[in-house]
């Protein structure tokens, strides 16, 4: 195995670990094995990509850092220009803390929550202090890579414009922030495991992964707008609750050192920036035994809660799905989309993005021209919410547990029509339509109730477009293929399927804008076409 430069750097300060009572040689060997294994991992932000070329994904984390370099450009206006350090650096550190903490939770929770260290290493003549030190340094090394990538360019700009004191202070505070975040995350896990089981913690980690992917998707919007804030002429007013704003702790030393502001709040916050990370380490060391005991909960699987039989839900399901077989597959698909973490990680970020993007377009264009919402047709931006449909329909054919698809052969199923039909309806009812309803309420609040017929057109169009995507994707049997078979050809199909969406949106705009009662006529025609399309699409699928 190759040696790592980070370990060679640690060799030069090994006396620090020795003085702390840590067996450095053992810790180094553990770190060497962990870093070697990590070269085969794919970061969360790339989990939506195909895993086809696993042989070429060595050192994937290092190769993924370019996206953090790009995201770090949003820090340049705050760290490179202006002298209002308390405001500027509070904003900058809020961004830094958010990115580092969400990345830690999404990509390195498996390290903090690794029970193998206890079951394997603890049976050997290795002290618990050495094992925990290796775990901490393992995470700290990668967070250092991330922090350097995210802050390197802003730091260089800050060094050039703000001076050497600013640069050295920032480097020192970034080290303290990384220590504080690792310990804070560990304490968060300790708290969750104290009151909940391991399954609840896994769900929370999964939702953080989804949130990270979503934030990186829309982060470029913040990047574009951040360069509009160059003149920081504002005064920060302290309140008693300001002491709970962690980014302000790390911004205060700049005011103290560079602006000579020695007010009480500035001095107290500066002390907090140094003392709190040290206290957090002490607290973490005290809580390690409790943490290790509670980690055993991760090995236990919680009993699934049975849903109560709701008469209204049963009635609606009877209306939506006509046959018992279709209703059974509807419930099955609903549970798969709800419980399979890999599916949620691949689809939910896009679902969130499709919710945000209509409003991004609406407010972006409204900035450059006055909009009269009483007559505007800007509500048609809601068509962008359908961008989720091609990729979601594609993912419905795949599963992390695809090998269990043999169960379909056991059932006395003549054809898979009801399975496919029930799955598509489950996607629409459980994922897309709740998103659409929430968006529609907001659009009605902005544009008024006059747009209700147009929103109904969008709803019928989305149902019809789902069937078009199902036909275009080749009508796979749901949940029967591995995710690594989502190749470029399928991705191109999803891209090409955006063309009919554009045609449907254009037709809606033309009929509503140029023909009297065009929206009502279009709605009636769409309902008829949609009904016929669903019957046609699920008429001939009688082969496995």
Q: Tell me the per-residue pLDDT of 361-387, one tens digit each, with 9 for 90 and over.
A: 787 776 666 667 778 888 888 998 898
pLDDT at 462: 93
Length of the chain: 544
Q: Could you tell me which residue, 427 or 39, shows the higher pLDDT?
A: 427
pTM, two decimal places: 0.64
Q: What is the mean pLDDT of residues 151-161?
A: 89
pLDDT at 112: 67
pLDDT digits (tens, 9 = 90+) for 265-313: 888 888 998 999 888 888 877 777 777 677 666 666 555 555 555 777 7
Coil vs helix vs strand at 398: strand
The residue among 99, 110, 101, 105 whose CA lies nearest residue 65 is: 99
Contact by Cβ (8 Å): 187, 286? no
Q: Which residues contact 468 (CB under 8 A, 6 or more apart)?
A: 497, 500, 533
The rounded Cα 403 to chain-centroid distance in angstroms is: 27
CA 191 vs CA 106, 174, 204, 291, 358: distances in Å: 18, 25, 13, 9, 38
How big is the CA angle at 198 (ends 194 and 204), to the nearest 5 degrees? 90
Q: Which residue has the tokens 């049976």?
A: 123
Determine the Cα–Cα distance for residues 358 and 439; give it in Å rounded to an integer: 9
pLDDT confidence band for 48 (50 / 70 / 90): very low
pLDDT at 542: 45
The two structure tokens encoding residue 205: 């980690």
The two structure tokens encoding residue 281: 């380490």
In sequence order, what are the beta bridge partners of 466?
none
pLDDT confidence band for 264 (50 / 70 / 90): confident
Determine the Cα–Cα distance for residues 421 and 478; give it in Å rounded to an integer: 10
Instruction: DSSP for 122-163, please give it.
Output: GGSS--HHHHHHHHHHHHHHHHHHHHHHHHHHHHHHHHHHH-
Handedness of CA 326, 329, 330, 331 (dihedral sign): positive
pLDDT confidence band for 7 (50 / 70 / 90): confident
Contact by Cβ (8 Å): 512, 446? no
Determine the Cα–Cα distance for residues 467 and 465; give it in Å rounded to an integer: 5
Is the model's pLDDT at 488 over the cut of 60?
Answer: no
pLDDT confidence band for 102 (50 / 70 / 90): confident
Determine the Cα–Cα distance for residues 495 and 499; give it in Å rounded to an integer: 8
Contact by Cβ (8 Å): 187, 287? yes
Long-range own/partner contacts, residues 294-298 (CB < 8 A, 24 or more apart): 294/190, 294/193, 294/194, 295/113, 295/115, 295/118, 295/193, 296/115, 297/193, 297/197, 297/198, 297/201, 298/113, 298/115, 298/193, 298/198, 298/201, 298/202
Contact by Cβ (8 Å): 354, 388? yes
Contact by Cβ (8 Å): 109, 205? yes
Determine the Cα–Cα distance for residues 219 and 63; give it in Å rounded to an integer: 19
pLDDT at 297: 66
User: How many CB atoms are located within 10 Å of the residue 37 CB?
Assistant: 9
pLDDT at 204: 73
Among 47-56, 75-84, 499-508, the range with the most confident prediction by mean pLDDT is 499-508
């Amino acid at each position: 195995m190759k040696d790592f430069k980070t370990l060679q750097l640690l060799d030069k300060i090994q006396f620090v670990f020795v003085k702390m009572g840590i067996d450095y040689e053992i810790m180094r060997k553990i770190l060497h094995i962990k870093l070697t294994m990590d070269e085969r991992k794919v970061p969360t932000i790339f989990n939506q990509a195909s895993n086809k070329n696993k042989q070429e994904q060595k050192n994937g984390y290092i190769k993924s850092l370019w996206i953090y370099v790009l995201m770090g450009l949003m820090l340049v206006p705050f760290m490179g220009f202006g002298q209002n350090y308390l405001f500027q650096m509070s904003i900058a550190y809020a961004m830094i803390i958010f990115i580092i903490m969400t990345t830690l939770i999404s990509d390195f929770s498996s390290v903090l929550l690794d029970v193998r260290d206890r079951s394997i290493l603890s049976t050997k003549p290795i002290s618990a202090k050495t094992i925990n030190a290796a775990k901490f340094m393992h995470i700290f090394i990668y967070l250092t890579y991330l922090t350097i990538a995210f802050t390197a360019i802003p730091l260089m700009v800050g060094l050039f414009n703000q001076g050497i004191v600013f640069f050295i202070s920032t480097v020192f505070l970034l080290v303290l922030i990384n220590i504080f975040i690792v310990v804070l995350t560990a304490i968060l896990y300790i708290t969750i495991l104290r009151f909940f089981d391991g399954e609840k913690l896994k769900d929370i980690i999964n939702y953080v992964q989804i949130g990270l992917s979503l934030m990186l998707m829309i982060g470029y919007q913040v990047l574009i707008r951040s360069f509009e804030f160059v003149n920081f002429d504002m005064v920060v007013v302290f309140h008693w609750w300001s002491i709970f704003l962690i980014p302000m702790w790390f911004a205060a030393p700049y005011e103290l050192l560079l602006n000579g502001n020695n007010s009480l709040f500035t001095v107290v916050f500066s002390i907090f920036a140094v003392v709190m990370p040290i206290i957090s380490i002490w607290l973490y060391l005290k809580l390690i035994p409790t943490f290790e005991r509670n980690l055993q909960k991760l090995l236990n699987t919680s009993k699934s809660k049975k849903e109560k039989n709701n008469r209204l839900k049963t009635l609606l399901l009877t209306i939506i799905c006509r046959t018992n077989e279709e209703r059974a597959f509807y419930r099955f698909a609903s549970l798969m989309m709800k419980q399979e973490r890999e599916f949620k990680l691949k689809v939910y970020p896009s679902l969130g993005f499709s919710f945000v993007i209509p409003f991004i377009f609406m407010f972006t264009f409204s900035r450059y021209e006055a909009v009269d919402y009483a007559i505007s047709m800007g509500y048609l931006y809601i068509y962008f919410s359908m961008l989720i449909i091609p990729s979601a329909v594609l993912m419905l054919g795949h599963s992390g547990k695809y090998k269990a698809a043999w169960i379909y052969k056991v059932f006395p199923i003549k054809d898979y029509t009801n399975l496919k039909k029930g799955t598509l309806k489950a996607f629409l009812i459980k994922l897309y339509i709740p998103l659409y309803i929430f968006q529609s309420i907001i659009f009605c609040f902005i544009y008024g109730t006059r747009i209700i017929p147009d929103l109904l057109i969008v709803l019928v169009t989305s149902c019809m477009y789902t069937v078009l995507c199902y036909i275009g994707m080749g009508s796979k049997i749901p949940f029967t293929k591995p995710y690594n078979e989502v190749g470029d050809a399928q991705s191109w199909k999803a891209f090409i399927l955006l063309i009919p969406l554009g045609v449907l949106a254009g037709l809606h705009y033309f009929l509503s804008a140029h023909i009297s009662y065009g929206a009502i006529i279009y709605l009636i025609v769409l309902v008829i076409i949609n009904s016929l399309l669903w019957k046609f699409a699920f008429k001939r699928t009688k082969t496995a």
